Structures are given as C-alpha cells and as structure tokens.
Structure 1
Amino acid sequence: MKVRVERDLLVESVAWVGRSLPSRPSVPILAGLLMEASEGELTLSGFDYETSHRVTLPAQVADPGRCLVSGRLVADIVKSLPHQAIDFSVDGAKAVLVCGTSRFVLQTLPVGEYPALPEQPPSSGAIRSDVFARAVAQVAGSASRDDTMPVFTGVRMEIEGPTITLLATDRYRLAVRELEWEPDEPEASATTLIPARVLSETARAMTGSTLTLSLDRDAAGGDGLAGFAGEVSGGSRWTTTRLLDGSFPKVRNLMPAEDAIETRVRIGTATLVEAVKRVALVAERNAPVRITFTAEGATLDAGNGDEAQASETIETQLTGEPVTVGFNPTYLLDGLHAIGTPVAHLAFTQPTKPAELTGATDLEEAPLTNFRYILMPVRLHNS
C-alpha cells in the first residue's frame, strides 16, 4: 500500500473516524484505524461494535492495499505535521508516514482480525443537512447523560410521511422539534431511538450537502441500525449506529393544552438570557431562579437571606394572570439558546405545571410551533 493525501483533509477525516474509536476498548483491535487505498481514493474506517464511521477522500494511490494502525496515534501525528502532502506506505508489519522532513514508523495491527463493519441500511429518504443539524442541536441537549438509564440518553425520531419529529428528555425538560424531509416512500412511518451523542456528532460533521437517512426497518429495538451518509468538502462520510432498546416515556402529555394556558409572556430572548446569567451568579448549586411575571414586568430573584442575594426587573408583555415560578437556571438558559429567535414566548397553565417555551420573530408575531421546549418548574420553598 502506498498513497499520498493532502494533509488538512487527512487531519479532518482521521478526527471524524476517531470519534468511533473507544478510549478503553474491550478488544484491543478496536483501537485500530482501518485504511483502505483503491484507485483515486483512500477510505478510513472505525468501529466499536455500536457505532461505525467511514470517510472516503481523494488520494494519489500508487499501490492499492489496506492496513490497520493505532487510530489515536495517527490522529495525534497528523495534527502535528506541517501543511504539506503526506505520504503513507506499508512495508510488511510496518507503516511509514512521511511529511516534509518528518518521518514516522508505526507498528501495524493484524488487519485480518478486524471485525466487518455493518452495511449501511437501505435509504429511507433525504434531508438538507444544515436543517437537520440545526434541529438535532435544538433537541439533543435535553437528552440525559446518565448511562444507567439508557432510554433517556437517546433522541426519539418519529417519521410520518414528509414529517420528522425529534424528541429528547432527561425527565426535567423536554425538547420537541418538527421538520420536513423527502422520504423515499410518501407514506413512510417509523419510530426509532438513536443515541443522542452519536446523532449530534454526526449531524454536525455532515453539514454542507443533502443528508441521506437510512433505517433498518427489518430489525427491532436494540438490534436495529440507523445510518447517515453525506458528501462533505473533499469526500464522503457515512456512519451507522445501533438503536437503543427500551420504551421511550409518553412525554407528549407534558405539553400544555392550548385551552389550559392561563398566562403568556413575551420577552426579548437576549434580555432574559443576560438577566438569568447575572442573577444566577448568587444561586447555590441546583438552586432555582425565582421569576415573578406581572403586567409591570418580570422580576428575577436568587439567593437567600443568609447568603448573597440578587434581583433584577426586566420588561415583558404579559397576557393573562400574573405567575411566580422557579426554574433551574441552566435548563432555562439551554432552552433560550435552543429557540434561536429574538423573542421568547412562555406559556403557563399553573406555576407547578410544566411551562412551554417557544420562539417568535418579534413581539407582535405568533410564536413558532416547530420547536417546543417544555421545562419542569422547581418547587419554591414558600410555595
């Protein structure tokens, strides 16, 4: 095997594939980066039995072949190299990497012991990659990071014809995003639970083109696969991940019914973000920020009588009854960043019931409904 490849492209590609390499592999061979050179291209692959990444990039191939080398070592090496073409060759059990005056000799791993990567499931449809990346970014942050409850670490993807709905919750907040796509079958219908971390990394890495979504419809639960493929600058990428097993909780009943909403508040998103950040400086860990919404504005309070205290009043538009509620400031800020609009719209049924946060383009327009962030209030000591 003998190949020459552009340095920056190799750095980016190795970093992408390296995301699927386990830091502490149960089987040492999984720490390997599979390199396969064929006419005019180099393919890099990584696999940890759960998630696989593969990228194909243009290269000058003098001698086709394949080899397996330490993925993390190669990633560290190529990042440190000057901006010149990289020559990579294999001689017996050794791999040689040359860039300018730098030369590295690496021990190869037994490529015959590397497990076969899963096949990409059949295409289910296509979607604009930037739209998908934005939607995933809005939702994935609400998934749990607690691996002891795997079902909450996933993003539920519901497909009904031309509409995809993404849902994620960690039991303290719920994010719901609807978006349009182009299914291969007009009456397509499917429900899957995809690991949030993999989905988020994949969506970010495949922006810039149309993204092909693939679902293994013949497999169920944890035996199913989701696949994503797209063209990026300088090559193509695809990934597969095993779906999570388990029943996603019935969370739609947390969304306030329209006829039950008693209070609506419109407020400048940036204004509320800055006020929450300032007031939360005196809040103890996991302590809520108390917000009182009235016709005169919103007053934010944090701290207690024995420690530091803070309060701030900002302008709002209120429709309905005044309300006082406590929110975890981190969760509230996450939602405000996720809506991505100049105006935030808060809807309340009761102070102790989940509140709905949506976005609006200005104070006079109706709130957008394609993204909803449902936030559980924190019980206040005097409530």
Structure 2
Amino acid sequence: MKFRIDRDTLADAVAWTARSLPVRPSVPVLAGLLIEADHEGLTLSGFDYETSTRATLPAEVSADGRALVSGKLLSEIVKSLPAQPVDVALEDTRVSVVCGRARFHLQTMPVEEYPRLPQMPTSTGAVKADAFVTAVQQAGAAAGRDEMLPLLTGVRLELAGATISLMATDRFRASLRDVEWFPEDGEISAQALVPARVLSETARSFAGGSDISIAVSVGDVGDGLIGFEGTVGNGTRRTTTRLLEGDFPRVRQLFQTQPETVAYVSTQHLVDAVKRVALVAERNTPVRLTFSAENGLLLEAGTGNEAQASESIEAAVTGPDIEIGFNPSYLLEGLSVMGEPVVHLAFTQHTKPAAISGVGEVGADPDGAFRYLIMPVRLQT
C-alpha cells in the first residue's frame, strides 16, 4: 500500500472517522482505523460493533493494499503535519507517514482480525443536507442524556410520504420537527429510533453538503440499522448505526392541546433576560415567568434571604395572565435552536407543559416546522 494525498483532506477525513472509535474497546483492533487504497482512491473506516463510519476520498495510489493502525494516534499525527502533501506507505508491519521533513512510523494491528463493516441498507430517500442538519440540532435539544434510560437518549424518525418527523423527549421536555425529503417510494411509512449523539455528529459532518441519502433497514437486509451517506468536499462519507429498541413515548400527541394564553416575545431578548436572571437561581431552582396582557413579561429568580433578580421585557400577550416556572437550562436549550426572531409561547395552565415555536413576526401562526414542549417546575409560594 502506497499513496499520496492532500494533508487537509486526509486530516479532516481521519478526524471524522476516528471520532466513532471506542474509548475503551472490547477488543484491541476496534481502536484501529482501517486504511484501504486501490485504483478508486482511499477509504478510511471505523467500527465499534454499534456504529460504523467510512470516508472515501481521492488519492494518488501507486500500490494497492490495506492496513490497520491506531485511529487516535493517526488523527493526532495527521492534524499536526505541515501544509504539504502526505505520503503514506505500508512497510512490512509498519505504516510510514511522511510530510515535508516530518516522518512517523506506526505499528500495524492484525487487519485480518478486524470485523466486517455492516452492509448499508437500501436507500430509502434523500434530504437536503442543511435542512437535515438544522432539524437534527433542533429535535436533539430535548433528547435524554441518562444512559440508564437508553430509550430516551434517541431521536425518533418517522418517515411518512414526503415528510420526515424527528421527535425526542427526556420526560421534562419534548421536541417535534418536520422536514421535507424525497423518498424513493412516495407511500413509505417507516420509523427508526436513532441514538441522538450519533445522529447529531453524523448530521454535523454533512453540513455544507448537498443531499444526504437515508437508508432504513426493511426486512432482513441490514435489519435494525439506519445508514446515512453524502458528499463532503471531494469525497463521500457513510455512517451506519444500530437502532434503539423499545416503545417510544407518544410525543406527537403532547402538542395537540389548545392554548388559553399566547405570548410573543423577541427570541434574543428572552434569551438574554433568562441568562441574566438565572445567575441568582441555585441549581434545580426555576425562573419564574409572569405573562400579562397589560405588563408584558416579568422574569424573576431567587427567594427569601437569597440573592434575587428580576427583569421586565416587552411581550404581546393574549388570554388570561399566567405565572409559570421553568428550569432555566431547559428553557435556554430550546430557545438556542430557534432560528426565528420571535418566539411564540402557548400555555394552558401553570401546571401543564408550555409549547414554544419560532415565528417570523408578532402575530404570526407557528408553521409547525419546530415545536418545543417544556414541563413547568412547581413554584414556591
């Protein structure tokens, strides 16, 4: 194996592929990054038995071959190299990496012991990369982080016709985001529960690309897998991951209640005010929000002899006045992924979840593209 490649192209692909490698591999070879060179170019692969990554990129290949080396070490080496072409060659049981006057030799691992990467399921359809990246970022804001509840650490994808719905919940908040896509079968109806961390990292890696091909396993081909493939720069990237199992909560039904009070607030003003007021809120204590048609929005935090803060901002409120408390971190995480200048807040009661959506202007109806539901926190009287 022997090839030459642009340093930046190699560094970016190695860093992305190595990101999926396990920190504590169950077998030593899983810490390895598989390098394969042939007449079609260069392929880099990583696998931990759950998630696989594969990057294909152009290279000047002068000798075919394959080798397995430490992915973490190769990533650290390549990103430190000078901005010059990189020459990589397999020499007996070592791989040499030469760039300018820098020269490294890496010990290889037994490539014959490396597990076979899972087969990519048949393509189900395609979605615009930037739209999908935004949708994943928004839906993932409500995904759980408690590994003791693995079902809630996923994002549910519902593929129905020309729409993909992404949903997540950690029991304290929920998200729902619809995005248009282009299915191979217009009558498709499929579901997949994807680990949120893998989905987020995969989506970000396609930012700035064109289309992402999505492949959900149906039948016995790649059963229990989902795959994503797209072009990044002058190469392609492919990820497969095993789906989570279990009955996901019925998130969509949570967004179907009719509100009694509706408020419109500047997204940036609300974010800034929550950050300031929350400075005096102790851990796990809420920020109190009082919405009034006459006085707009009042934010308060801190009680009794503790530090206290309050701030008033403009808000257009219709319906009965309402006083409600939220975990400031959960509120800010939802607001941070709103792309619109105005946030629409809908309330039923102070003990019921509030629905938050971004809109273009005061008075506009939420278009339903992204909705964020947050449970209130009991306020001390």
TM-score over 0.5 for the alignment? yes
What do residues 13-54 of structure 1 show as CA deviations (whole Å, max 9, x unaligned)?
001101210011011110000000011511000000000000
What do residues 51-101 of structure 1 show as CA deviations (whole Å, max 9, x unaligned)?
000001110001011000000000000011100011000111111110100
Q: Which residue of 2 aligns with 1:194?
A: 194
Q: Which residue of 1 aligns with 2:7?
A: 7
Q: Which residue of 2 aligns with 1:96?
A: 96
Q: Tell me, yes or no, if the aligned pair for 1:256 and 1:349 is still in contact at 8 Å.
A: no
Q: Which residue of 2 aligns with 1:126?
A: 126
Q: Tell me, yes or no, if the aligned pair for 1:167 and 1:177 is still in contact at 8 Å.
A: yes
3-state SS of paired residue (2:270)? helix
Percent pairwise identity: 56
Alignment of structure 1 residues 132-147 onto 2, 5 Å: 132-147=132-147
TM-score of the superposition, structure 2-length normalised? 0.98
3-state SS of paired residue (1:76)? helix
Cα deviation for residue 141 of structure 1 reads 2.1
Q: Which residue of 1 aligns with 2:333?
A: 334
In structure 2, the CA distance between the partners of 1:216 and 1:40, relative to structure 1 (3 Å rule), is: closer
In structure 2, the CA distance between the partners of 1:219 and 1:310, relative to structure 1 (3 Å rule), is: farther
3-state SS of paired residue (2:84)? coil
In structure 1, C-alpha distance between the alignment counterparts of 2:277 and 2:254, rounded to whole Å: 28
Q: Which residue of 2 aligns with 1:300?
A: 299
Q: Which residue of 2 aligns with 1:29?
A: 29
Cα deviation for residue 219 of structure 1 reads 5.0
3-state SS of paired residue (1:123)? coil
Q: Tell me, yes or no, if the aligned pair for 1:154 and 1:244 is still in contact at 8 Å.
A: yes
Q: Which residue of 2 aligns with 1:289?
A: 287
Cα deviation for residue 366 of structure 1 reads 2.0
Cα deviation for residue 234 of structure 1 reads 2.0
Report how many residues are paired. Answer: 379
What do residues 319-355 of structure 1 show as CA deviations (whole Å, max 9, x unaligned)?
0000000001111111111221100000000010000
Q: Which residue of 1 aligns with 2:359?
A: 360
In structure 2, C-alpha distance between the alignment counterparts of 1:375 and 1:241, rounded to whole Å: 29
Alignment match of 2:277 (pick from 265, 276, 279) = 279
Q: Which residue of 1 aligns with 2:215?
A: 214
TM-score of the superposition, structure 1-length normalised? 0.97
Alignment match of 1:268 (pick from 250, 266, 269) = 266
Q: Tell me, yes or no, if the aligned pair for 2:168 and 2:251 is still in contact at 8 Å.
A: no
In structure 2, C-alpha distance between the alignment counterparts of 1:357 and 1:141, rounded to whole Å: 13
Q: Which residue of 2 aligns with 1:309?
A: 308
- Aligned residue type for 2:194: I
Q: Tell me, yes or no, if the aligned pair for 2:155 and 2:194 is still in contact at 8 Å.
A: yes
- Aligned residue type for 2:233: S
In structure 2, C-alpha distance between the alignment counterparts of 1:255 and 1:137, rounded to whole Å: 19
Q: Tell me, yes or no, if the aligned pair for 1:219 and 1:225 is still in contact at 8 Å.
A: no
Question: Aligned-pair RMSD on alpha carbons?
Answer: 1.2
- Aligned residue type for 2:283: R
Cα deviation for residue 223 of structure 1 reads 5.2
- Aligned residue type for 1:21: L
Alignment of structure 1 residues 236-247 onto 2, 5 Å: 236-247=236-247
3-state SS of paired residue (2:336)? helix
Alignment of structure 1 residues 34-113 onto 2, 5 Å: 34-113=34-113
Q: Tell me, yes or no, if the aligned pair for 2:264 and 2:363 is still in contact at 8 Å.
A: no
Q: Tell me, yes or no, if the aligned pair for 2:273 and 2:311 is still in contact at 8 Å.
A: yes
Structure 1 segments, 4+ long, off by >6 Å, are none
Unaligned stretches of 5+ residues in structure 1: none
Q: Tell me, yes or no, if the aligned pair for 2:141 and 2:334 is still in contact at 8 Å.
A: no
Q: Which residue of 2 aligns with 1:114?
A: 114
In structure 2, the CA distance between the partners of 1:286 and 1:219, relative to structure 1 (3 Å rule), is: farther
- Aligned residue type for 2:367: L
In structure 2, C-alpha distance between the alignment counterparts of 1:322 and 1:247, rounded to whole Å: 38
Q: Tell me, yes or no, if the aligned pair for 1:94 and 1:106 is still in contact at 8 Å.
A: yes
Unaligned stretches of 5+ residues in structure 2: none
What do residues 263-300 of structure 1 show as CA deviations (whole Å, max 9, x unaligned)?
00001111111000000000001110001101211110
In structure 2, C-alpha distance between the alignment counterparts of 1:219 and 1:267, rounded to whole Å: 50
In structure 2, C-alpha distance between the alignment counterparts of 1:128 and 1:160, rounded to whole Å: 17
- Aligned residue type for 1:358: S
Alignment of structure 1 residues 244-263 onto 2, 5 Å: 244-258=244-258, 261-263=259-261
Q: Which residue of 2 aligns with 1:372?
A: 371
Q: Which residue of 2 aligns with 1:226?
A: 226
Q: Tell me, yes or no, if the aligned pair for 1:159 and 1:190 is still in contact at 8 Å.
A: yes
